[in-house]
Chains A and B, each alone.
Chain A
């Protein structure tokens, strides 16, 4: 038996978080810029205007830099599954492996096949064939994202599986329940649209830089106009899909929702915090300290968005830990202690099942298996000690969520203004707006990172919601090994990022070949 410590779990989590955060610097620009350059090329094919061809080719070059530097950075996450999270990988292998395999076989190969025609084929295939290759490359990248997000969504809301105590694995019983889980579908649209928004911000920001430098003005205005329209639509749709995602969180991960809102004591007709400052002195869910220094609340909105009813009861952190409130399906919510008891019952049943099987006591084994399945939904609570263990880091989740939302609405406003100013043919002289657009690019990256912090920190302590907490999922490695690889990854990714920025800035300074 290996004794684990918190340091190993935390370093393993930090390593995974760092890798995922770096990976998500590259992916959204691929998704967003890809669609925009495909639209530009479509305009070229439809109008025959050479300027659109050159515009599309310039952005394709930037896309290529980002794609080349970012490609395969996600594979490092898969390395970590096998090494750092081996219990998890074994426990979920059959289910988690399927979407990842589809991603690798179908989506990645679609992308890899057509990207060569996109880059090498401008003068070798017809305009329409090239355009088709461009769209198929983007489709491949987007489908890749879908299957990765299906895997992630399953961790947030495990469905379509049955735990087999003989193989100690969750086995897929319903592929479509996994592939079309509402959590996955919402997550996909929200994440991909965030990439579109980032791509638009990038195009408008870089276009504004050319205007500031008074270079390639016609190209810049064409790019900015398209970016503003595309960005405005993307961020409006982001708000819609964000609502869909939050609705799913309210139904499937109420603790995450309560943490996003810093809501400790639930209530009917709950308001949503528009702006608030948490009280850092609040250390435990059950202390008497007010969680807020200050907040501005929009009345009833949380109940409306979370449950589609302005008077619905939204459970707070205390309610979820203490239980006893009525769930939307009419059942009484279990307390943490009750869930823990059922989790321990499930784990004991697993141990007894294994023993009974070894000793050939088949009828006992059947009974233990039934007990295990009856209590499996709470399996992970058996690893937790006290109610506080089931609560994610509230300030990090809360501030990440609210800052992400604020940035989202900021971009709706910014793109609306840019669109209006471009329409009035005043963008070329609106220096103030050019600076704003340029310096807003990092904000789009920040919003994407914050979104993932909400999704992943907000679901702690679970690797699989309610079924497997991080301390049961992690491999029994030495903490020193994990720290070493953390430093290696940090170095590698930082070098890649420096390479990306250096090459990209050089290419942008060089400008389009007009």
Chain B
């Protein structure tokens, strides 16, 4: 998982930590990053926009309309839930 460094205990630097971590990454580390990236692309690139739009945001522009819709639902469902 961790990078295979040849130098030891260099002065700490965030950029070089990440840069060397990524460039010296083991095969396992690379595999995991690929899995993570594919997963996030499916979640945020496909599932969220195409299958999980925010129900209220996609129908109403402002909070007042959203509240009006929800209150209508809460009142109506007392009698019409099957």
- Please give the residue numbers on chain A whose beta carbons come within 8 Å of chain B beta carbons, in ascending order: 1-6, 57, 60-61, 64-65, 68-69, 71-72, 75-76, 79-80, 82-84, 86-87, 89-91, 116-117, 119-126, 129, 165-169, 344, 347, 350-351, 354, 382-383, 471-472, 475-477, 481, 484-485, 488, 492, 496, 499, 503, 507
**Can you pick out 27 interface pairs between chain A and chain B where the beta carbons lie within 8 Å of each other?**
A3-B80, A4-B81, A60-B1, A60-B2, A65-B28, A69-B39, A72-B39, A82-B52, A86-B54, A116-B18, A116-B21, A119-B21, A119-B29, A120-B20, A120-B21, A124-B9, A124-B10, A124-B20, A168-B71, A350-B74, A472-B74, A472-B77, A481-B51, A488-B47, A499-B35, A503-B32, A507-B28
Distance in angstroms between the alpha carbons of A25 and B50 in the assembled complex: 26
Contact check: which of A86, A124, A354 meets B12 at CB < 8 Å? Answer: A124
Tell me how far the C-beta of B42 lies from the nearest C-beta in chain A, rounded to whole angstroms: 6
Distance in angstroms between the alpha carbons of A499 and B34 in the assembled complex: 11
Q: Are B17 and A117 in contact (CB under 8 A)?
A: yes
Q: Are A64 and B12 in contact (CB under 8 A)?
A: no
Q: Are A83 and B2 in contact (CB under 8 A)?
A: no
Distance in angstroms between the alpha carbons of A33 and B78 in the assembled complex: 47
Q: Are B36 and A475 in contact (CB under 8 A)?
A: no
Q: Are B1 and A72 in contact (CB under 8 A)?
A: no
Q: Are A347 and B54 in contact (CB under 8 A)?
A: no
Tell me how far the C-beta of B26 lies from the nearest C-beta in chain A, rounded to whole angstroms: 9
Q: Using known A-B contacts A120-B21, A123-B8, determine if residue A83 contacts B54 with beta carbons closer than 8 Å.
A: yes
Q: Are B56 and A4 in contact (CB under 8 A)?
A: no
Tell me how far the C-beta of A49 lies from the nearest C-beta in chain B, rounded to whole angstroms: 18
Q: Are A90 and B67 in contact (CB under 8 A)?
A: yes
The 8 closest A-B pairs by CB, nearest first: A120-B21, A86-B55, A68-B32, A79-B52, A82-B54, A64-B1, A61-B1, A168-B67
Tell me how far the C-beta of B17 lies from the nearest C-beta in chain A, rounded to whole angstroms: 5
Q: Are B17 and A121 in contact (CB under 8 A)?
A: yes
Distance in angstroms between the alpha carbons of A123 and B16 in the assembled complex: 12
- Please give the residue numbers on chain B whose beta carbons come within 8 Å of chain A beta carbons, in ascending order: 1-3, 5, 7-10, 12, 16-18, 20-21, 28-29, 31-33, 35-36, 39-40, 42-43, 47-48, 51-57, 63, 66-67, 70-78, 80-82
Which residues on the B side are within 8 Å of A65 (C-beta)? 1, 28, 32
Q: Are B76 and A1 in contact (CB under 8 A)?
A: yes
Q: Are B55 and A83 in contact (CB under 8 A)?
A: yes
Which residues on the B side are within 8 Å of A350 (C-beta)? 71, 74-75
Contact check: which of A64, A121, A125, A344 meets B32 at CB < 8 Å? Answer: A64
Q: Are B12 and A90 in contact (CB under 8 A)?
A: no
Q: Are B9 and A120 in contact (CB under 8 A)?
A: no
Q: Using known A-B contacts A72-B39, A116-B18, A488-B51, determine if residue A347 contacts B80 with beta carbons closer than 8 Å.
A: no
Q: Are A476 and B2 in contact (CB under 8 A)?
A: no
Q: Are A344 and B71 in contact (CB under 8 A)?
A: no
Which residues on the B side are within 8 Å of A126 (C-beta)? 9
Q: Are A168 and B55 in contact (CB under 8 A)?
A: no
Which residues on the B side are within 8 Å of A122 (C-beta)? 2, 5
Distance in angstroms between the alpha carbons of A481 and B77 in the assembled complex: 21
Q: Are B70 and A90 in contact (CB under 8 A)?
A: yes
Q: Using known A-B contacts A79-B52, A344-B78, A350-B74, determine if residue A123 contacts B32 with beta carbons closer than 8 Å.
A: no
Which residues on the B side are within 8 Å of A503 (C-beta)? 28, 31-32, 35
Tell me how far the C-beta of A15 lies from the nearest C-beta in chain B, rounded to whole angstroms: 11
Which residues on the A side are within 8 Å of B16 (C-beta)? 124
Q: Using known A-B contacts A90-B66, A91-B70, A120-B20, determine if residue A80 contacts B75 with beta carbons closer than 8 Å.
A: no
Distance in angstroms between the alpha carbons of A471 and B80 in the assembled complex: 10
Q: Are A72 and B71 in contact (CB under 8 A)?
A: no
Tell me how far the C-beta of B14 lies from the nearest C-beta in chain A, rounded to whole angstroms: 9
Q: Are B70 and A1 in contact (CB under 8 A)?
A: no
Contact check: which of B3, B28, B56 meets A86 at CB < 8 Å? Answer: B56
Q: Are B47 and A76 in contact (CB under 8 A)?
A: yes
Tell me how far the C-beta of B7 lies from the nearest C-beta in chain A, rounded to whole angstroms: 7
Distance in angstroms between the alpha carbons of A96 and B79 in the assembled complex: 27
Distance in angstroms between the alpha carbons of A76 and B52 in the assembled complex: 9
Q: Are A87 and B73 in contact (CB under 8 A)?
A: yes
Contact check: which of B7, B32, B73 meets A2 at CB < 8 Å? Answer: B73
Tell me how far the C-beta of B39 lies from the nearest C-beta in chain A, rounded to whole angstroms: 7
Which residues on the A side are within 8 Å of B56 (C-beta)? 82, 86, 89-90
Which residues on the A side are within 8 Å of B32 (C-beta)? 64-65, 68-69, 503
Which residues on the B side are within 8 Å of A82 (C-beta)? 52, 54-57
